[in-house]
Amino acid sequence: MQMRFLTYNIHKCVGGLDRRCDPWRVADAIAGFHPDIILLQEVAEPSVAGQFSRQVGILSERLGCRYSHFVPHTQKWNGSRYGNAILSRHPIVDAGLIDLTIPLKKRRAAIHARLRIRSARGRSRTIHVYNLHLGLSGFERRLQLRRFLKSWPLSRLDRRAPVVVGGDFNDLWGSLGRRVLAKEGFRSPGGRLSTFPAFAPMGALDAFYWRGDVVLSRLVRGWDPSVRDASDHLPLIADIRFA
């Protein structure tokens, strides 16, 4: 069975150039890629109720994702919060949060979702999906990835269990992920695709890694005018086949 994953730092639905908050624009940009599972970073939950107060609700409804897991783990000075979200067309049967905050640094986290997927032939299986947003310094990211690898249930999973990890790694060259995650059996594509800044991408901040009975069929970045204007990142799309 093959599924399409998308990871996207949506910058609280604020455009990278026009600074306009428009969750419907973000949803329409994502919809054009027809993903099955969506990993979002910087999803906002403003403190004042209004039309933008539940971005995850707007995005889930617009994209036709019945299942979601959202944890607004970071609070701003004005009382609003933001965090990571996983939206899915397939049932999420279990979910959790992994605190990756390093003392004296900004709050960071990974979220986990255990999904049950069913193929066209009626077979079903469990996959584990992780959505990460790591820190800005190399030292911070190394500590965060080591903590992530020791987390439950990842540290207890059989190496053959299908695991997909995606998100904003803030790792310009991708070397940290390959050095740390590869030691625990995770694989990544040979090349890197630049996703930041959206209007003229130079940095490969966003990435996918996978482990177990998983095969990457294709990895591309989303690149068209509507996506370029929706956020300060571009989305990354992975077509993944489960053995």
Q: What is the pLDDT of residues 22-55, one digit of tens each?
A: 999 999 999 999 999 999 999 998 755 555 558 9
The CA angle 221-225-231, to the nearest 5 degrees, is 70
Quote the CA–CA distance of 169 and 184 in Å, as a whole number: 17
Q: Look at residues 87, 92, 131, 127 and name the one whose alpha carbon lies nearest to residue 109.
A: 131
Q: How far apart are the first and last CA of the chain?
A: 7
Q: Is the alpha carbon torsion for 193, 88, 63, 68 positive or negative?
A: negative
Structure token pair of residue 89: 């067309």
Burial class of 155 by CB neighbour count within 10 A (0 to 12, 13 to 18, 19+)? exposed
Residue 112 CB partners (closer than 8 Å, separation 6+)? 95, 96, 97, 98, 128, 129, 130, 151, 153, 154
- Average pLDDT score over the chain: 91
pLDDT tens digit string along 76-97? 756 678 999 999 999 999 999 9
Domains of the chain, start order: 2-242 (3.60.10.10)
Q: Which residue has the higher pLDDT, 120 or 177?
A: 177
Q: What torsion, rounded to 10 degrees, do the Cα atoms 97, 100, 106, 107 define? A: 20
